Structures are given as C-alpha cells and as structure tokens.
Structure 1
C-alpha cells in the first residue's frame, strides 16, 4: 500500500515537472516567434503616460471644437465644417484605436477583445484615416481657391457645397475601407511544433496568412491613393498659394512705390510752381 502511494506521488510530481517544462517552452517559443509579450517597465510606463496625455488632450480638444462650432451659428462656415469633420474623425480614431493600442503595450498578445470588436476596429481605423486625409485635402483646396481665385471663391465656396462634399468624403472613406474588415479575422499565429494544435496565447487580430498576398496590393493602392497622391496635391496647392501671395505682395509694393513716386513728383511740381511765382 505504501509503495503504491509513493508511486502515485512520484507520478504526480513528474507530471507537474513535465507540465511546467511545457509551459516554459511554450513561452520561450512565443517570445522567439512573436517577440516579448511586454517591454521593460520603464518603457511601458512612459508609453502609458504619453498615450494617456494624447488621449485626454485629443478628446477634450476635438470635443471642444465640435461644441464651439455646433453652438455658434456665426461659425457655421465651409472652413469650420471641414474642421468639424476632421475633429470627428480624430475622436473616432482616439476612442477606438488608442485604448487597444495602449493595452498592447502591456500585453502584446493574445487578443482579448473578441472578433466583433476586432473587425469593427479594423473598419473604423481605416475609415477615419481616409476621411482625415480627404478632409485635409478638401480644406486645402478650399484655401487654394480662396487665395488664388478670390472672385470665383465667392460662388464656389459655400456651406451647402461643403456639407455635400463632406458627406461624399465619408462615403468614399467607408467604401474604400471595406476590404480591410472583410479580410480581418481572429486566428492563432502559432501551433505547437509537430502538431496541429494551436497555441492559445498566440491569438491575433489581423489579416490571416492566406490573404496576405492579396492584401499587399490593397496596402500599396491605399498608400498611394490616400497618402502619396494627397500629399502631392496638397504640396502643389501650397506652392501655388505661396507664389500667389508672393506675387500679390510684389504688386502691392510696386503700387505703393508708384504712389510714392507720384506724390514726390507732385510735391516737386508744387515747389517749382511756388518758386516761379516768387521769381515773378
């Protein structure tokens, strides 16, 4: 009887050692393939403070912008409506994107927020990014028309047109963001070696490996359409705005110089006439 009890205790002990060894190897494998689950405490605390400051200031600032523009009818202009659209997209980005990002600083994996939020976050992060870029481009176009074509801007830049354009911007952003939530899923990134059993700690919210090649093309297209192309258009418009302002400043100086020259000529003629009268 005593021998059986000793054998049972030894078996349990060996099993416990084996299980603890398996756990250790699993974490070692995860760290090797997916990186450390959490960085050093100093880096984590520093990033947490920075993220919290960005979150609080961003929410307060953008919400204040929305309230001020919404409550004051005299601020209901095309320019301010573009700023309102930009503030809304920034708030969505902060509310839906920053908290999971902050959590990943403390625990890089596994994903713990469920598949529904995973897909929802993927859609809104892309949509708000696209909406922000398109809004900035439209706002720059508004400034370009107002400065370079001030007469045309009186009919071109109006509140109704701006509202329609903002709705179009958000609609285009929604449509263009759809491929990302459609191809985003929860999946296990790693499996136990020599088995088909997934490692639960490797759960990811991302694009599965079988769709990566297809989505690379989408990444390239979206990078060009929503970053490279708007950046080029905005840069060109600001260069033209700068040239127009420089030209108008030069013309103003030329007009001022001409007026000063006419004033000097008039003063000289007056002096000549006065001297002529005295000489008589």
Structure 2
C-alpha cells in the first residue's frame, strides 16, 4: 500500500505545482524574477553613491601610499613594504572588484562574462582578502619582534627579507583561493519542460554544497580564527611589555 500512497502524494504535489508553472512559464522575465528575485537591487542608487565615495577615497589614498613609498628612498622600510602590499590588495578590490559589485546590483542576472569572468571574480576576491589578512598579521609579528626583540629585528627585518615574505604571502593567497574558485562556475536555469531559460546564467557554486561548506570552514579557521588569535596574543604581549617598562 505504500506505493499507492506515494503515487497519490506525487499527484497531489503535481496538482499544486502546475498552476505555479503555468503562471510563470509564459513569461521569461517573470520566471527569472520567481527564481532569482528582482533583476535590479532596490538599493542600487544609494549603494552606487556610497561605492563611488569609497572608490574615490580608497583609490586616491592607496595610490598616494604607493607613490610616497616608491618615490622616497627613506620610506622603503620593511614595514612600509608590507603597507605597500596591503595598498595593492586594496587597489585590486577597488579597481576590479567594486565595478563588478556595482554591475551585479544593477543587473543581478545574467552574468555576461562567462566562466573565465566567474573564475576571475571569485579568485580576485579570495586572493586579495587572504593577502590583506596575511599582510596585517605579518605586520603585527614584525612589530612584536621589534618591541620585544629589537636586536634580532635589526638583523632579520631587512628589506630583502620583507620582499621574500610578501612574495610568499601572495603565493599562498593565490594557492588558497583555488579551491573555492574551482567549485564556482556558470549556473543555468531551466523551464519545467527542460528548456534553458534565456538570460538565466549566474556565477554561483556548481559543486555540491558540502564541498563549499568544508572549504569555507577551513579557510575561516586559517584566515580568520588563527590570524585573529595570533594578533590578539601578540598585542597583549606587547601591551604587557610596554606597561612593565
């Protein structure tokens, strides 16, 4: 009797779904709105003004930081090299990431840049985020060594050493961005009759969600919990050292 019950349930579900299918099937725009929501965010105009302000201030400030460090020889210190690297990561977000964000608020779908654009977008945000975190953590470690071990800092914290560290940080950032980038791709939607919905392409996770969740948990531990713990401990130790002196 179980199979009879299952058949009756399926018929009941079909009877409930069919009116909804008929409602959206004849209109591509309505069907996309049903799947994704409105094409344009209702916060598009205010957020565009906010992003424009952030863009102007951020690009101007970070460019000035880079130009000052490059132009003045006495500013080319190990600490300023890390600040230069941090400014570069901010500029990458502002110049490449922010226009994509504004575009997606203006038109949530379709994604017009194809698989390469989807990979680039995901890899860019992942890489610069990781690079920024690693740069800030490295600066904290350098400050800790300079305050608690000043003689060791003079010997080891050289410009060549800083450059090698920065190259390693960016390499690790790119490397750890690859797992999340690899599970993204172009996702298409289909009508109930299994034909492709025109203009439905989006850049989204195309692999099973458990893989995505594992990657997010791992990167959160490596690039949030661990750096935050290291920075907190180092600044507590520096605070104790300064207070005792």
Highest RCO, 1 vs 2 (Cα 8 Å, sep ≥ 6) = 2
| In 2: Cα distance, 1:31 partner to 1:219 partner | 28
Q: Residue in 1 aligned with 2:190?
A: 191
Aligned residue pairs total 223
Measured against aligned partners, the alpha-carbon deviations of 1:53-104 in whole angstroms (never above 9, x if no partner) come to 1112111111111111011111110000000000111111112211110111
| In 2: Cα distance, 1:83 partner to 1:145 partner | 17
| In 2: Cα distance, 1:37 partner to 1:171 partner | 37
Measured against aligned partners, the alpha-carbon deviations of 1:183-228 in whole angstroms (never above 9, x if no partner) come to 221121x3212x21121232111221x3322122111101110111
Unaligned runs of 5+ in 1: 1-17, 249-280
Measured against aligned partners, the alpha-carbon deviations of 1:220-276 in whole angstroms (never above 9, x if no partner) come to 10111011110111111111111111111xxxxxxxxxxxxxxxxxxxxxxxxxxxx
Partner SS, residue 186 of structure 1: strand
Q: Which has the larger radius of gyration?
A: 1
**C-alpha RMSD of matched pairs (Å):** 1.8
Measured against aligned partners, the alpha-carbon deviations of 1:154-208 in whole angstroms (never above 9, x if no partner) come to 21221111111111111111111112232221121x3212x21121232111221
Shift of 1:21: 7.9
Q: What are the residue-to-residue correspondences of 1:72-111 with 2, within 5 Å? A: 72-111=72-111
8 Å CA contact retained: 1:110, 1:201: yes
Q: Residue in 1 aligned with 2:44?
A: 44
**Length-normalised TM-score, structure 1:** 0.75
Identify if the C-alpha distance between structure 1 residues 149 and 21 changes in structure 2 by more than 3 Å, giving closer, same or farther: closer
8 Å CA contact retained: 2:185, 2:205: yes
Q: Residue in 2 aligned with 1:31?
A: 33
**Length-normalised TM-score, structure 2:** 0.85
Q: Residue in 2 aligned with 1:277?
A: none
Question: More helix by proportion, 1 or 2?
Answer: 1
Once structures 1 and 2 are overlaid, which stretch shifts more, 28-37 or 72-81?
A: 28-37
Unaligned runs of 5+ in 2: 1-21
